[in-house]
Structure 1
Amino acid sequence: MVFKFTIDNVLNKYIPENKLKRLPPFIGRFLGAHSPSPRADYLIWLETLIGTFVGLSLLEGVFKSHTVFTKHNAPIIIASYGASAILCFNASQAPLAQPRSVFFGHFLSSLIGLCVQKLFSLSSGGRDHYWASGSLSVAIASVAMSICNCVHPPAGASALLPSIDDEIRSMSWWYLPVQIISSLLIISVACITGNIVRSYPVYWWTPAPLGKKVEPPKEDEKAENISHFSTDDAIEGITYIPNLTTIQISANEILVPEDLNINEIDVEWIDGLRLKLRKLPEQQSRSEV
């Protein structure tokens, strides 16, 4: 489902455009600022194997060691990061695996899960019904992640754990910094291993235009549509135009008919074409050299 409103409708015009291309190549490469060449499957499988092992081992190593979290009953690893590892190191090109979704998805869900569990803990009746606390936490987190455009499926477990796991519950508010550190560590490993043969992340905030409001099309033949255009119709780099009968893709924008029903898989595929168009001049200049 593609929502016509997310927090991006408000924030994107205040967020600066991606400047990673200006960094030295060695630094920029490990932040996803490069265009990888096609690679054999076995190299990608090897990268996935190494990245997943190193990422999870790093988390386990940090929390297995004696740290400030030890006396607060921090587990060796929060279980939801096993699923995050599959996304970050295997399906690294998917929107659900991008750093924004990983970090904010886990943190937002953990905060909601902890707050709902705390409310249920205020009474003996609530403590007898933590099953409802867990279900409510995941339900609220799911909607909140959609509004904040940071949907990350493993984060559902992060919302659930404070209600169903005694060890996590005993951590209380220390659960949040553990989530922050875990997310930052797994993203860091994904940036290192994921940029050896592939490119990660695909984007840091959104593939949509940043730093300014999305402008309507300027062509004369679209003049009738422009009068009906609203910047509230811009979603994830997709602009919905009334009365349009074609899908138009350029390096900077995607125009689709207002009444066309598209889902997240459609958006991912269409936006993949837009990103390829954006990288085309760079690939052509390299081929000329």
Structure 2
Amino acid sequence: MKLHDLRRVEIDIDIFLNRYIPHPRWHRYPYPVAHFLGHRLEPTEKLGTLVVIFWTFIGVFCGLLTLTAATTHIPFFREHGAPLVVGSYGAAAVLAYCAIESPLAQPRNAIVGHFLAAVVGVSITKLFGLHPHPEELYWIAGPLSCAVATLVMSLTKTVHPPAGATALLAVVDPTTRHLGWLLLPLILLSCVLVLVTALIFNNIERRFPLHWWTPADLAQAKKEADLESSSSEDLGEVHQPAAAGRGVKQLEGHISIRPGAVEVSGGITLTPEEQDFLERLSKRIINLDEKSALDTAHKP
């Protein structure tokens, strides 16, 4: 592969992961529960700046207060000298309660990205700790830790800016560095508490999250993967070139609406609300056809 071609290479891990991620089935949840998990039947109303600022203030205060209360009153963390709160969660709070529509603030990025960055930070700290005088090398280990964490988050599509600070603090901050692997459960606990409080306060008048894993249709991704798998099995894993006239035509799902009937094929799954809407639309077509027939009959 030439260097020019290498510059155009695209890496999308979701092509491999999305088929294994379960898609949300909101119709199975009581609506109040689904509402506070970010599901909406209708688009949310745009709020004024003052309302957004008010809920941001409440969210940041209550969210960080929950974190400091947890680390203060959990004996396990207190006995091991855990900090009152990891400094990077100041930036995480701004994303989680203010910039809630940003892709960087969604749960996948906020939890997975932060945890991966913590793993990278602790791993590099342990690696440099093998040196007889590691204190002399932390000025190199810190930037390396943040760079590697950013690389890992980019490859896994979990970029979360505060997580870069966590990877850096895990190396250069003596208090955080002293925790070692204990930083990982502390980060997980902090992520969960921030997410829970964000679900509560952000969904009172706004909507959070916009998606849990990806904005793409996970159900469709799984169906396409199953279709590819079944096609491969039917062909005996033998792929004939299209030029030979034996190319495989991919099946695509479609929805057909006729007067009084709705046909769904290709493995498309409809929610009860979508099914009801399409049925009402088909009945409307019947009424239009009847009206057209009456108009034709009354013409001289």
TM-score normalised by the chain length of structure 2: 0.69
SS at match of 1:190: helix
Counterpart amino acid of residue 85 in structure 1: A
Deviations 1:59-99 (A, max 9, x none): 01111224211111111100000000101111101100001
Q: Secondary structure at the match of 1:154?
A: helix
Unpaired segments ≥5 residues, structure 2: 1-7, 226-246, 248-272, 279-300
Question: Which residue identity is paired with 1:112?
Answer: V
Structure 2 match to 1:152:
160
Where does residue 179 of structure 1 map in the other structure?
187
Matches of 1:39 and 1:162 in 2, distance apart? 38
* One-letter identity of the residue aligned with 2:26: L
Letter in 2 for 1:23: Y
Deviation readout 1:15-67 (Å, 9 max, x if unpaired): 12221243111111110012422323222211111111100111011112242
- Structural mapping, 1:1-289, within 5 Å: 4-34=10-40, 35=42, 36-211=44-219, 212=222
Larger Rg: 2
Residue 32 of structure 1 aligns with an amino acid whose one-letter code is G
Structure-1 separation of matches of 2:181 and 2:193: 20
Q: Using the alignment, how far apart are the partners of 1:4 and 1:131 within structure 2?
A: 33
Shift in alpha-carbon separation, 1:51–1:21, aligned structure 2, 3 A: farther
One-letter amino acid of the counterpart of residue 73, structure 1? G
Shift in CA distance, 125/6, structure 1 to aligned 2, threshold 3 Å? farther
* Percent identical residues: 39
Which one scores higher on RCO, CA 8 angstroms, separation ≥ 6?
1
Partner Cα distance (2:212, 2:85) in 1 = 25
Give the alignment's Cα RMSD to 1 decimal: 2.9
1:21–1:33 Cα contact (<8 Å) kept: no
Q: Give the whole-Å Cα distance in 1 for the aligned partners of 2:81 and 2:13.
A: 35
Which AA in structure 2 matches 1:200? F
Aligned structure 1 segments of 4 or more residues deviating by more than 4 angstroms:
none
For the residue of structure 1 that corresponds to 2:218, the secondary structure is: coil
What TM-score, normalized by structure 1, do the two folds share?
A: 0.72
- Could you say which residue in structure 2 is the equivalent of 1:257? none
